[in-house]
Amino acid sequence: MRGVTATDLKAKGVAAVEAGLLEDEEVIISVRGRNTYVVMDLHKYTKFREYELEIALLEARADIEAGRYFDSSVNDHMQQISEEL
């Protein structure tokens, strides 16, 4: 993964990121020598978010199949939360 320093980003702006994205799918931005941010194009980010949501859905389905859930009304749930505080 190609890296861009914060100094390069300040000097070259978005062009520094765009140049990196021509070579790789993500660009790491380092600040004071530490990798701090990752930049990717919007299409890849959208796919990434879809994968995260799909994983969450699979985990929720697994919890339901394993019986790891509670069946209650919103009011009952809110009452339980209030009692726990």
Give the whole-angstrom CA distance, residue 10 versus residue 27.
15
pLDDT band per the 50, 70, 90 thresholds, residue 70: confident
Question: pLDDT tens, 6-48?
Answer: 999 999 999 999 999 999 999 999 999 999 999 999 999 999 9
Domain-by-domain residue ranges, the chain? 1-39, 41-82
Phi, psi of 27 (to 5 degrees): -130, 130
Q: The pTM is what?
A: 0.68
3-state secondary structure the chain: CEEEEHHHHHHHCHHHHHHHHHHCCEEEEEECCEEEEEEECHHHHHHHHHHHHHHHHHHHHHHHHCCCCCCCCHHHHHHHHHHHC
Residue 1 has what pLDDT? 80
